[in-house]
Structure 1
Amino acid sequence: MGCSEAAMDAPDSLDQEEQHLNANHLGDISCTTFNILAPIYKRLNSERRESDFREYWLSRNECILERLLHLKSSIICLQEFWVGNEELVGMYEKRLTDAGYVTYKLARTNNRGDGLLTAVHQNHFQVLNYKELLFNDFGDRVAQILHVKLVVHFSQKRSVDIEKEALIVNTHLLFPHNSSFCFPRLQQVYKILQYIRSYCEECQIPPVPIILCGDWNGSKKGHVYKFLRSQGFVSSYDIAHHYTDSDEDAHKWVSHLNHRGNLCGVDFIWLYNPNNHRKPMNQSFMEAVLGNIKSHLFKVSIEGTESLHLLKTSQKVRSYITYSQFSQTLTELGIPSHPLYGCSIEEIKALWDHVDTDRDGVIDFSHLDRTLNLHQLFWQREEDSEEPAWRETLPNISNNATTIGFNVKNAFLFPPEVERGIWPENYSLSDHAHLTVEFSLVRLQCY
């Protein structure tokens, strides 16, 4: 399937501030993602949390709501929303409902106390379906998926057979406490994309744009970022500011001051249009995991740790490893065989089969070395204009359909200092900045 695009009727130009704050004019929608720091996690000192003092958390969240209502975004995605407090939940739901939003909240599993809230403005979207994805892993993470239809009014000539649907996702990935957390984080993203694919197939949804919002708890240099890029998603903020995937641009902006005192850029609004190139998802995931393994091996070699099973053989003349050695190596690298926080037996076997291409039951060291090095080529951005042989798309129900897509018009972080990599001392809304992106509508001809 291929797509070509044409811009919708462009609105009259407005000054930059109005473009930030007003997406009501024809042809634009906007989206804000914000981790609002649940009061149960906000430390006032070594012993007390903000949740112990109603006047503190109430005042801060009233300020957050004022900021959100001032932005007037079409889509609002919040993380660390204190679902366990009825007063706070009621305040958000009433204020957002009064402003024209329909809201959906989802608690993390195992009574963690916080969760997600997604709000979409009824002037811009009609919600066709709402789904909740529970990862059921040791981080108790969840995701919300909204299937929406845009409320836009085109001329009769333009409106004929134009699909006006989209998918919106809100999530908050596991924090990478150490390098062993990389694999379950990749698993969480894989589950989201796999669920989207299954949903589109089951409901026979034509090609639609996808917006992934949230706190991804990882930077542009991580494997989660690279995996999403391989799946045709682009970071809206980086597109708006003409930043690339290069190391040079990896630290141009920040969005989080974490509990370790580190500044990092972790909040993203990802965009996928049906005309974007994407590698087969399972292959991408396997290569991402192999990249993770390579990073672990590199770290082990730097730290001077004893040789792992991957490098051990009972006889010096051996130049290969067996499946049992491979499995043991994953465990020693922090990727254990465990259904909740590691690889399942089926996943380890699938990874082995991905590398053992000749199916002889062993993997030559030379082949493994080539595999671990060649995976880096996979991350490189496609440079030529020809369509790559590995192009894959979401299921195409119609052989010839016109659908709406999104172009990134503008994006900004608040407070503005974080766009220069600086965290202002007087910022107190959260330990995260909020990210707002404005999109213009385009027509995509899919065939």
Structure 2
Amino acid sequence: MRKERNDEPGVDRLKQRRQRIRKISDNKKRMRMGCGSMVGSERCVSCTTFNILAPIYKRLSEEDQSCRESQYRAYWLSRNERIIERLLGDRSSIICLQEVWLGNDELVDMYEKRLGEAGYVSFKLARTNNRGDGLLTAVHRDYFKIINHRELLFNDFGDRVAQLLHVESVDPSWQEQKSSIQQQVLIVNTHLLFPHDSSLCIVRLQQVYKILQYIETYQKEHNLDPMPIILCGDWNGSKRGHVYKFLRSQGFVSSYDTAHQYSDFDAHKWVSHRNHRGNICGVDFIWLLNPNKCRKPLRTSWNEAVFGIIKYLLRTASLTENNAFAFLKVDSPGDYITYSGFCQALCQLGVAGHPHGLGPKDTNDLWVQVDIDGNGVVDYEEFQQRIWNHKCSEPPEEKIAPGIDGTQMMGGRQQTLGFNVKDAVLFPPEVERGMWPENYSLSDHAPLTVVFSPVSVPCGQPIC
């Protein structure tokens, strides 16, 4: 358990702590208003993501790792009943669960029955190859009707999956607005691969890339106007990771960090998970992309993220800039990198050359990017510019248009629904201070709930 930093006078620190605890308590009360929550004159949408720790993975003994909660019905039944009570108490408009024990019919029936009685429509998706657990996404009927539901099967090393729900608001307070305002939302629930070693970074990045690629394809196939996209789940990576940077480069914002005005450098201020190694980290996110947010072309962001992984792996190998260039040269006779040497080096780094790594097309796309002058080889200057000193940049911030609640349309342009992040809270409150309480027993993850308020934004998502 991490200790708080002792860099403030004792009295001031105690006062700030009390204020923070009071704020958390107020947030929890407000969150429990759930589907009916109001902020000012706005009726808000709330969303909860929670990895509930499948009983087949929950260890009951440090000495006997084979002893799992799934062997004791009374244990897993009691814990999941408490989880359901908490979810129903929060009454979020959208619930995204990971590690649901879909291999147990009794547990699945319990979730579907209790959520159904509370007004939710739920969808479940098991991981491939009979892993035993999977995803469950529930949407409250009072807020959304389901237009479409899609299942994404990655068929990769980790048998990971994702759900996509296309929903439309049925809230009367929204329906009273001008009919030109689109009121649809795309919701994604997923659980990415756990990074057992650094070579798996590329697999997790590919999983996110496939999600965004699928969203783009879905929008084009159905000729959809831009709409808000909410990505929920256990991303198994922190704010310091490549997936976080990749999503930021695509215009997504971390809702929790937005609500608390945290920067990308504030990764230490909150945690949401204590993994099986005993490490605490922040890996659970609810990402928001508004339809007026400036976005880079998806492939551009992907290439930048892969170059970031390559540089990270080179640095992890304790290679200096000169040594890294020499490593990529392999056995090139000149002072340059050849394509064959580049491919060989990527295989040695573990990002290519295996079923779950980069394919030939991906590798060729990277080569085209790094060979700036197109002469078939990469010199030291190109290596510096594209790999060693290259930084993944974010699109410029866009201001949200005036809200739906009684404000003007913008210049006659077609409007669509967007969201402001009004509030966000993690439970238990200790995790919001970067600590993990020993008496917390719901899961090895903390549930994250975010409250969004609707706003009208100009339709059309610019490409930067």
Q: TM-score, normalised by structure 2?
A: 0.85
3-state SS in 2 of match to 1:321 = coil
Matched, 1:120 2:117: no
Could you list the per-position Cα deviations for residues 17-38 of structure 1 after superposition, in whole angstroms to 9, with x for gaps in the alignment?
4421113145201000000000
The equivalent residue for 1:320 is 336
Mapping 1:353-364, distance limit 5 Å: 353-364=368-379
Could you say what secondary structure the match of 2:230 adopts? strand
Matches within 5 A, 1:86-235: 86-154=105-173, 158-235=177-254
Write the distance in 1 (CA, Å) between the matches of 2:445 and 2:320: 33
Q: For 1:306-350, what per-residue CA distance to the aligned partner results, in whole angstroms no more than 9, with x for missing partners?
A: 9774143353xx111111110111111111223x31011111111
Distance across 2 between alignment mates of 1:380 and 1:105:
34
Residue number among 301, 304, 319 corresponding to 1:287 in the alignment: 304
CA distance 1:157–1:42, change in 2 (3 Å): closer
> CA 1:201/1:29 → structure 2, altered by over 3 Å: closer, same or farther?
same
AA aligned to 2:185 is A
Alignment match of 1:268 (pick from 259, 273, 285): 285
Gaps of 5+ in 2: 1-25, 400-411
Relative to structure 2, which stretch is displaced further, 294-303 or 87-96?
Answer: 294-303
Q: Per the alignment, do residues 124 and 156 of structure 1 end up closer, same or farther by CA in structure 2, a change over 3 Å counting? A: closer
Distance 1:143 1:18 in 2: 31
| CA 189–321 in structure 1, closer or farther in 2 if over 3 Å, else same | same
| Amino acid paired to 2:195 | P
Q: How far does residue 352 in structure 1 lie from its aligned partner after superposition?
A: 1.1
Tell me the CA shift for residue 400 of structure 1: 4.3
Q: 1:277 aligns with which of 290, 294, 312?
A: 294
What's the CA shift for 1:278? 1.4
- Contact 2:194–2:236 (8 Å) recurs in 1: yes
In the TM superposition, what is the alpha-carbon distance from 1:357 to its structure 2 partner?
2.7
2:32: which partner in 1? 21
Q: Which moved more, 1:138-147 or 1:329-338?
A: 329-338
Does 2:430 align with 1:442?
A: no
Whose RCO is larger (CA < 8 A, sep 6+)?
1
Distance (whole Å) between structure 2 residues aligned to residue 62 and residue 253 of structure 1: 27
CA distance in 1, matches of 2:232, 2:204: 15
Aligned-pair RMSD on alpha carbons? 2.0
State the distance in 2 between where 1:438 and 1:19 align.
9
**1:251 match:** 268
> 2:346 aligns to what?
330
Task: Please state whether the residue corresponding to 1:68 is helix, strand or coil.
Answer: helix
Contact 2:160–2:192 (8 Å) recurs in 1: yes
Of 97, 101, 110 in structure 2, the residue corresponding to residue 82 of structure 1 is 101
Please state whether the residue corresponding to 2:381 is helix, strand or coil: helix
Is the counterpart of residue 297 in structure 1 residue 311 in structure 2?
A: no
Measure, in 2, the Cα distance between the counterparts of 1:185 and 1:194: 14
Q: Is the 8 A contact 1:211 1:270 kept in 2?
A: yes
Residues 170 and 213 in structure 1, CA contact (< 8 A), matched pair in contact too: yes
Cα gap change, 1:381 to 1:314, in 2 (>3 Å): closer
Moved more, 351-360 or 209-218: 351-360
> Does residue 1:34 correspond to 2:54, yes or no?
no
What is the CA-CA distance between 1:159 and the residue it aligns to?
2.9
Contact 1:149 1:166 in 2 (8 A): yes
Please give the secondary structure, in 1, of the residue aligned with 2:296: coil
SS of 2:387's equivalent? helix
Ranges in structure 1 where 5+ consecutive residues have no aligned partner: 1-14, 386-398
SS of equivalent to 2:390: helix
Contact 1:309 1:326 (8 Å CA) reproduced: no
Give the structure 2 partner of residue 428 of structure 1: 441
- Name the SS of the counterpart of 2:418 in structure 1: strand
Q: Deviations over 1:414-441 (max 9, x none)?
A: 0110000110000010000010000000
